Structures are given as C-alpha cells and as structure tokens.
Structure 1
C-alpha cells in the first residue's frame, strides 16, 4: 500500500499533528528560501559590478559565501524534518521488520550523537571567534560557525521529534522505499 509521493510543499504527519512543528518547519523553509534569494542577488550584483561596470564589489562574494553556509545548514534541518536525507538501504531492504527497526534505531542514534557533538563544536567555535571579522565584508566569523551549531541543533530536534512520533504512532511505521514511494513496513 503506497501513499502519494510527498513534495516539499506538503506537511507530513508530524507537522499536521503539531502546530509548533509546523511553524518550525515553515520557518526553516522561509529562512532557507530567503538565503537562496539573497545568495542569488549577491552573486548577480558581483557579476554585474565586475563585468558590466568594471568595478567589483569586494564584500558581495564573501557575504554570498556566508549566506550559502546558512542556507546549507538551515536546509539540512528542513530535510531532516521531512526525512529526506540520502540513505543507502540495500541491506536494510532485505531485512525483516524487527531488524529494520534495530538498524534504523542505530542509525538515528548515530545521527543524534553526531548532532549533539557538532552543535557543541559549532557553539565553541562561534565563541572562540567572537572578535574576528571577515576581511572584505567585516562580518563576524562567529556567524559562520553559529550556522553549524544552528543547523545541527535543528537536525537533532527533528531527529528526536521524528523518533518520538514514530514510537508513539500506533500500527506499522511508514518507510520510504528505494523508488521514493512511501508505504507500510513489511
């Protein structure tokens, strides 16, 4: 039994059941979309100033890089919320339901532990670089490392929320198959 394939515009079951989760995921989408738009505008401004006016702006490239880093980490949280991260499940697809749950439990444990460690490391790097500024734009480099902390914190939060939701859900959990379809676990 399969449901229709989810798109980024469609909230999943957890978002439908929790207004707070829906607001968090929507905020991530909006922030990531704005970061993408800002990156595009900055790159176009840099290209135009360099090749049309022969007077490149030094701060646009650096600011675009910072914005791109924020885009990547905020988007990682959104992708975790929608369970869209890439996974290799050649072996898992051949296992029974109990074995799949064990492997999935181990995998989410690794993700959660890694997320905690990376969040802590991002905070430590952000604090260590408080006084440093980027050379061209004069942006605090702490903002760059703060993106790492925020992104991994979002991954951790969504990992915990998804896990708790799956454990509380009655019946068989829905698992994605290799062809992208979502169906009942065997």
Structure 2
C-alpha cells in the first residue's frame, strides 16, 4: 500500500506543481499585456481560473491522503487506543461517502452534462474543466484505501502488543 500511496503522491505533486507553474507564467503574461500593452488577454484569465479549479481539487485530495487536512479533533481526543483508531476509521469512511457520492458520482454526471457546452473564451468543452471533480474523487478513493490499510495495521499492532503484555 505504501507504493500505491507514493505513486499517487508523486503524480499529484507533479500535476499540482505543473499547474501552479503554468498559472504563474500566465498571470505574469496577463499583467504585462494589461498594463504594458494596454491589451488585456482574456484567454489567459480563463486558463488561470480553470487551472485554479484543477489545482484546488488535486491539492485537496493530496492533503486528504497526507491526513493533514483541517480536523476538529475534540471528539477524537476523548478516545484512547483501539477506540481512537475505530473512530478514525469511521471518520475516513464518512469522508469516503462524500468523495464517492459527491465528487466521483456527482462530478462524473456533472461533467457529462457539461460536455456539450463550449467555453465562451477557450475552444474546449466545459466538461473537460469539470472532469477535475471526479478525478479528485478517484484520488481520494485511493487514499481512503491506503489510510484504512494503515489504520488496520495500527489496530493489529495494538492487538499484538496486548498479547505480548499478557
């Protein structure tokens, strides 16, 4: 599972860095065309906007995989040992329901509906832009499997430790 996590991490890191780099270049280009040449570029603004959507979706999935997302742990902190791991597993499952239901399924059907609609500035389908939502859902599904695997291994380690203490 750690190999799957590492590969997914590397892919999301590379895609995010690439998107951020393109966005940076395009924003500089946009500023130059607007203030130096007094001729603003509308296509670069659209690409940056869509790049930001993709960046937000992929970075959200990446942070979920790292388990570095914001969390209100006041409930989790009340538990110890196996109970704490069980609550963490339930929490991961609830996030999975969101990722599969909203991002994966809802995002897929939303992107499908938008495939026939063309962007007003760029010569691409709006569905191509919205495909970032189910793609992030797939990444979160992969991370869910990895996170649950880690939690199960931690639970097994606790059981083995209890047996050794007896």
TM range, normalised to the smaller chain? Answer: 0.7 to 0.9
Asked whether the equivalents of residues 85 and 151 of structure 2 are also in contact (C-alpha less than 8 Å), the reply is: no
RMSD: 1.6
Instruction: Return closer, same or farther for 1:163/1:30 CA change in 2, 3 Å cut-off.
Output: same
In structure 1, C-alpha distance between the alignment counterparts of 2:56 and 2:16, rounded to whole Å:
8
Aligned to 2:69: 85
**SS across alignment from 1:85:** coil
1:112 to 89, 96, 120: 96
Counterpart residue number, 2:164: none
Work out the number of aligned pairs and report it.
Answer: 156
TM-score after normalising by structure 2: 0.86
Match of 1:134 in 2: 119
Among 56, 64, 87, the residue aligned to 1:72: 56
SS in 1 for 2:74: coil
Partner residue in 2 for 1:9: none
Q: Deviations over 1:20-50 (max 9, x none)?
A: 4322210110000111111111111111111
Corresponding residue of 1:125:
110
CA contact 1:58–1:137 (8 Å) conserved in 2: no
| Structure with the bigger percentage of strand | 1
Per-residue deviation, residues 52-109 of structure 1 (Å, max 9, x unmatched): 1101111111110111111111112211221111111123213222332232122111
Please state which structure has a larger fraction of its residues in helix.
2
Whether the aligned pair in 2 keeps the contact of 1:60 and 1:137 (CA below 8 Å) is no
TM-score scaled by length of structure 1 = 0.78
For residues 90-142 of structure 1, the C-alpha deviation after alignment (integer angstroms, 9 at most, x for no partner) is 23213222332232122111101111112111110111111212111222111
Asked whether the equivalents of residues 26 and 44 of structure 2 are also in contact (C-alpha less than 8 Å), the reply is yes
Which structure: larger Rg? 2
Q: Mind listing any 5+ residue stretches in structure 2 that lack a counterpart?
A: 159-166
8 Å CA contact 2:89–2:151 kept in 1: the answer is: no
